[in-house]
Every structure is written in structure tokens, then in C-alpha cells.
């Protein structure tokens, strides 16, 4: 069984049909990159994978468990799926370390000393070991985003979702975040990434999916989709990125 299975996923907001029948499977250790024009449903798809949105129709299964609109099931899902957003959403009144240890302590009931050791390890992983005591406002955008990644990793997720994690960053800070994501991929983390960073997609993704109008229009190896797209819509989108 695949780690993530999406079958015939439809999502409507009122009369607006944002996802129009998405099928997707993600295998353990796989890095899947989603590209496509603004408004095509990429964020909505990721939000369905972590239970922030419920399918209108169709099914989302993570680790063999169907995503259901039920508090216990959602709590369990949130432990298994890590999400990193464009805006980092750190708690401004908590230090970097406390941002990372909050969920392990509150959600998993981890003792303080154990959570602190875990938090420090996670901050080391994103190369911010020395910033444990810093407040978010004392950190650059790139550092804040790396804390957000550490915070998600602290829950030991089975899959990590990244929704345009570098889009809000100054250009000189993009590289440090992509590097951390590269390292995660190298360590075998299963990842679904929405990004416009085509260099990252080409180097790191096992598979690239091009979405348009709420559907997956084309998918394949990065070199194929990004260099030799078959679909006219993919070609048009990529030509506009250059």
C-alpha cells in the first residue's frame, strides 16, 4: 500500500469546484513536486492531505487510514503529516526551541526534558542549534522557516507537506531553506512540495505533477515534465516561468 492515496478527489467551495477529480499515490521515501498556475488547486490539495480541508467527494488515505472529519482521526492525522506553509506562522511569544517543543509536550504529553532534547536535535537538523533561545522576530525569514520545518519534524511525521515554503523569502534566503529540504529528501523523508523552484524540482523530485484547473494534467520524471512536456498547457506554463 502507498503512503498517500488520493482517489477521485473533488473539492468544492460553494459553487466553485477547485479540485476536479485528482488521483495521486505517494510511496514511502518519494519526493513529489507540484507545479501549476496560481489558483489551480495546489494548496487545496495539500490541505486535503493533512485534514485542513475535507473532500467534497472522493477519498484521501494516509498510511492506510482514511481522512475523516472526526476529531480523533484528525488528531492522529496531524501527528503523521507535517505541514510547512509559505508564511511560517511561528508563535511570536515563544523562543525557537519552545516553538519546536510545544506540540510534543502538549499533543504527545512528552516530559519537558525529553521534549527539550528532541527540540534541540530538530534545531540541529535545520542548522539552528545556536538559535534555540532566539525569538522569532530576532530571526531572518529563512531561519524562521527552518524553525517551522524543525517544529513539523518534531512530531516525527511520516510525510512532510511544503506549500511554497520559499515564496515569502528574500531571494538570498531561499537557498538555506531548500538545502534543508534537500537534506531531508536525502534522508528518505516522504515529501509533497508545491514550489516554483524548478532547480530544486529537477534535482530533488522523483516525480513532478503539473496541475491546471483542479486536475493533474501531466506527471512524470522531472526531466520529462520540465524539459520535454507533452501537454500544451504544461509547455505554456513553463515558458512563462522563464
- Please give the angle made by the CA atoms of 145, 95 and 192, to the nearest 5 degrees: 25
Residue closer to ligand ADP by CB (options 86, 102) is 86
DSSP secondary-structure letter at 36?
A: -
Report the interface residues with Mg ion, using CB under 5 A.
42-43
- Please give the angle made by the CA atoms of 39, 45 and 51, to the nearest 5 degrees: 130
By the rule CB under 6 A, 196 interacts with ligand ADP: no
Q: Could you tell me which of 138, 140, 120, 141 has the C-alpha nearest to residue 130?
A: 120
Site string for ligand ADP, 26-65 (x = CB under 6 A): ----------x-xxxxxxx---------------------
- Spatial contact of 141 and 129, defined as CB atoms under 8 Å apart: no
By the rule CB under 6 A, 69 interacts with ligand ADP: no
By the rule CB under 6 A, 15 interacts with ligand ADP: no
What minimum distance in Å lies between the beta carbon of 163 and Mg ion?
Answer: 6
Residue closer to ligand ADP by CB (options 45, 189) is 45
User: Alpha-carbon distance 175 to 147, whole Å?
Assistant: 15
- Spatial contact of 95 and 174, defined as CB atoms under 8 Å apart: no
Site string for ligand ADP, 117-156 (x = CB under 6 A): ----------------------------------------
Q: How far is CA 43 from the centre of its chain?
A: 9
Residues contributing to the site for ligand ADP (CB under 6 A): 13, 16, 18, 36, 38-44
Amino acid at each position: 500500500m502507498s503512503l498517500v492515496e488520493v482517489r477521485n478527489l473533488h473539492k468544492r467551495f460553494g459553487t466553485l469546484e477547485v479540485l476536479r477529480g485528482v488521483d495521486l499515490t505517494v510511496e514511502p521515501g518519494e519526493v513529489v513536486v507540484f507545479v501549476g498556475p496560481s489558483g489551480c488547486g495546489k494548496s487545496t490539495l495539500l490541505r486535503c492531505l493533512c485534514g485542513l480541508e475535507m473532500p467534497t467527494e472522493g477519498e484521501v488515505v494516509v498510511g492506510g487510514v482514511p481522512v475523516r472529519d472526526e476529531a480523533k482521526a484528525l488528531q492522529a492525522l496531524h501527528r503523521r503529516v507535517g505541514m510547512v506553509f509559505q508564511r511560517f506562522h511561528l508563535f511570536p511569544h515563544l523562543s525557537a526551541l519552545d516553538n519546536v517543543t510545544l506540540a510534543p509536550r502538549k499533543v504527545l504529553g512528552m516530559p519537558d526534558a525529553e521534549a527539550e532534547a528532541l527540540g534541540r536535535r530538530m534545531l540541529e537538523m535545520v542548522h539552528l542549534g545556536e538559535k534555540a533561545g532566539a525569538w522569532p522576530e530576532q530571526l531572518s525569514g529563512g531561519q524562521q522557516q527552518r524553525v517551522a520545518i524543525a517544529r513539523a519534524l518534531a512530531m516525527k511525521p511520516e510525510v512532510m507537506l511544503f506549500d511554497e515554503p520559499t515564496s515569502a523569502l528574500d531571494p538570498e534566503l531561499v537557498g538555506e531553506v531548500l538545502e534543508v529540504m534537500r537534506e531531508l529528501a536525502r534522508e528518505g523523508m516522504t515529501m509533497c512540495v508545491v514550489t516554483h523552484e524548478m532547480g530544486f524540482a529537477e534535482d530533488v523530485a522523483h516525480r513532478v505533477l503539473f496541475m491546471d484547473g483542479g486536475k493533474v494534467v501531466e506527471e512524470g520524471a522531472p526531466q520529462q515534465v520540465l524539459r520535454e512536456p507533452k501537454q500544451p498547457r504544461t509547455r505554456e506554463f513553463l515558458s512563462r516561468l522563464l
